[in-house]
Amino acid sequence: RRCDWVGNMFRTRDARETEEDLRQRYQAQSEDANVFYRATAGIFWSDLAGDWGGLSVKDLGILPEDTTLHDGVLLQEKNTWTWVTGDQHLSNFGAWRNRHGEVVFSVNDFDESAVYDFHIDVARVAV
């Protein structure tokens, strides 16, 4: 069942790729679990959020529990949600010139972006 699900994820994502490109990509992704998850952020997110393998986001200890804001309002789960990159790792940072000609250093890869808890990017960059 798991293999079928992963296969379907790949077929959907890679439908327009050539067989040769896919062969090279899949060979590189099969190096180890770290490389696999860096190359398949959607599967990483699904596994982490879906409690696959007995691990959940809450197990990471990055989500606050019973935190009260300054005004006394209890911090809800989605209070910390914002745009996240979804595939955060050091290779996704770089320098470029902005529209004002200034050199900036920041995130440069947004193809896996989503609205989610910002703590997940912190955990993802640690992986």
Domain for residue 40, yes or no?
no
Domain for residue 15, yes or no?
no
* H/E run at residue 83: strand 81-84
pLDDT digits (tens, 9 = 90+) for 16-31: 999 999 999 999 988 8
Domain for residue 72, yes or no?
yes
Residue 66 confidence (pLDDT) above 80? no
Residue 52 confidence class, pLDDT cut points 50, 70, 90: low
CB 62 within 8 A of CB 84: no
Domain for residue 117, yes or no?
yes
Domain for residue 33, yes or no?
no
Residue 91 confidence (pLDDT) above 90? no
Residue 104 confidence class, pLDDT cut points 50, 70, 90: very high
Give the 3-state secondary structure of residue 37. Answer: helix
Domain for residue 21, yes or no?
no
Q: Compute the average pLDDT of residues 77-101.
A: 84
Q: How far is CA 36 from CA 8, 10, 43, 78, 95, in A?
A: 16, 12, 9, 28, 26
Q: Helix 41-49 vs helix 2-13: angle between axes, to the nearest 10 degrees?
A: 140
Q: How far is CA 94 from CA 69, 97, 104, in A?
A: 34, 10, 8
What is residue 34's predicted lDDT score, i.e. its pLDDT?
78
CB 93 within 8 A of CB 125: no
Number of domains in the chain: 1
**pTM given for the model:** 0.50
Residue 3 confidence (pLDDT) above 60? yes
* Structural domain span for residue 101: 56-126
Domain for residue 48, yes or no?
no
Residue 118 confidence class, pLDDT cut points 50, 70, 90: confident
Domain for residue 43, yes or no?
no
